[in-house]
Amino acid sequence: MADFSGRKVLIMGLGRHGGGIESAKYLARHGAELTITDVQDEKTLAPSIEKLETATESAKIRYVLGKHEMADFEKADLVIKNPGVRSDSPYLQAARRVETDISLFLARSPARLIAVTGSKGKSCTASALYWVLAQVRAPAGAPGMIPAVLPAEPARSGKALLPGRAWLGGNITVSPLSFLDRLSADDDVVLELSSWQLGDLRGRLKDGEEGRGKPLLKPRCAVITAIMPDHQDRYPGMEAYVADKRVIYQGQDREDATIAGRDYWGRSFLAESRGRPLSYGAGKPAAGTSGGWLAGPGCGQEAGFEPETGLFYGGTGQGAVIEVLPAKLQVPGRHQRINLLAAALALLDLGLPAESVREGLGSFPGIKHRLEFFYEKRGVRFYNDTAATIPEAAAAAAAAFKGRGRLLLVAGGSDKELNFEPFIGAAEQAAELFLLEGTGSKKLAVLLKDRGIPFRGPFDSLDAAVRSLLELARPSDIAVLSPGCASFGMFDNEFDRGDKWKEAVKRLA
């Protein structure tokens, strides 16, 4: 395992939140001579440096902070890049070899891989997959890791349907390098992959004696959730953005499965992939194809299923319609139900019985920062949906609470060059709308004024927005932070925004 012994490795970007820490720890354990470079200074990065040095006491690490030195990139045997760094960076162009934590992991992992991407819903879907895959293993073998995004440990029955352990990592804030050394061939790893992470893997093949020339990314199941406009400040258009999403299935063959929706983008994915296609959506799949849908008028209700029950039909030979998702779930929102239906198809394809899939997904409690119920005071229920960073996600959150009480919506933030028209549905449903300050909020304010939709703010602090909300709140109201915008400026990232929203509500309410 000492395949980095004596090699000069440069990590580009430690980050205030320690994005490069797990890469550094893994490489230090395996003998690399490490240099870490970051454009932020030592004072800003002090917490991350302290965490790293505590974890790697015996390692000698050289830091180049407040700048990058071209010579460091030219001399390094290997450069580890952060997904947020553009591949056309002149520093990366000067490097001999560039990798990421994901590519290092994929080159060395012995485990079965389930990969998830999409614009929205990928964290919920990946976490639900992990939840069930951990649940069906014996207590001694699962789970491999409980990420901070999950609120609880999966309950497990005494009977193990699968050997090994289940693990969750990737874009969901857990580097898979943190558990790579503990993996076995009996394990399942669920990786959430962003478009940037996938773009870094395009065309990559394995090297070394085992698997030379095979695709580096070859998931046993590739699950693609809803595709919506996002990151248009990084990409020249939707086609380029979606092209990176397509990388998730480009290494697959007929031994694998590709799971996608029955919308425009999903149909193109399923037509292009060499993996076996499984489709999901609100209505039935086309005759002769395999997929899942939600029971409703004309879609299975007549067969005795409750409305919104998730159903599956194997049109390529299995024949019978089976229930894979119960009508009652722990997570709110029809969009979440669709996400869990996609997870159900993957779990069935991995060989789990429908009963285990149905029970496991029925107990899934959801994850932090995605329609997360966290507090109730004087009859007002408070939710954190800070991960709704695009207008469509905020609209879906508003729809999830329709008919359940007056909606008090906190939104706004930074712009990602997106069309805010889809946000109007959420704004119209809100009894009161509170905007946080930001470039996206400026665009939203113009749009809302044109439509005659009232709002309060923009507020230059979360405390001010919460105080305004509390003055208007009544018993049975639902207060939701669902921004529809990015978080740059007022917050470090969307998770910082969600944590500070929860803290402000509990402190001020």
What is the DSSP pairing of strand 188-192 with strand 112-117?
Answer: parallel
Q: Are residues 69 and 118 in the same domain?
A: no
In a domain, 364, yes or no: no
Question: What pLDDT score was predicted for residue 145?
Answer: 66
Give how many domains the chain has, as a whole number: 3
What does residue 366 show for φ and ψ, rounded to 5 degrees?
85, -175
Q: Are residues 56 and 80 in the same domain?
A: yes
Q: Are residues 77 and 187 in the same domain?
A: no
Q: Are residues 82 and 110 in the same domain?
A: no
Q: Are residues 61 and 129 in the same domain?
A: no
Q: Are residues 418 and 453 in the same domain?
A: yes
Q: Are residues 235 and 124 in the same domain?
A: yes
Q: Are residues 380 and 433 in the same domain?
A: yes
For residue 280, give the 3-state DSSP assignment: strand
In a domain, 185, yes or no: yes
Residue 342's domain comprises: 103-277+324-352
Q: Are residues 227 and 87 in the same domain?
A: no
In a domain, 341, yes or no: yes
204 contact partners, CB below 8 Å, separation of at least 6: 103, 215, 216, 217
Question: What pLDDT score was predicted for residue 18?
Answer: 62
Which portions of the chain are predicted below pLDDT 70?
Answer: 1-2, 16-18, 58, 140-146, 148, 155-158, 208-211, 297-304, 316-319
| CB contact at 8 A, 247 and 199 | yes
In a domain, 471, yes or no: yes
Of 72, 98, 124, the residue that ends a domain is 98
Q: Are residues 94 and 111 in the same domain?
A: no
Q: In which residue are the tokens 């030379």 written?
A: 212
Q: Are residues 387 and 489 in the same domain?
A: yes
Question: What pLDDT score was predicted for residue 319?
Answer: 64
In a domain, 458, yes or no: yes
pTM (2 d.p.): 0.85
CATH number at 176 reads 3.40.1190.10
Q: Are residues 394 and 345 in the same domain?
A: no
> Phi-psi bin for 309: left (phi > 0), alpha (psi -120 to 50), beta?
beta
Q: In which residue are the tokens 């449903």 written?
A: 429
In a domain, 118, yes or no: yes
Question: What pLDDT score was predicted for residue 302?
Answer: 41
Alpha-carbon distance 21 to 46, whole Å? 13
CB atoms within 10 A of CB 266: 23
CATH number at 491 reads 3.90.190.20
For residue 49, give the 3-state DSSP assignment: helix
CATH number at 49 reads 3.40.50.720
Bridge partners of 435, per DSSP, are 411
Question: What pLDDT score was predicted for residue 1?
Answer: 45
In a domain, 312, yes or no: no
In a domain, 317, yes or no: no
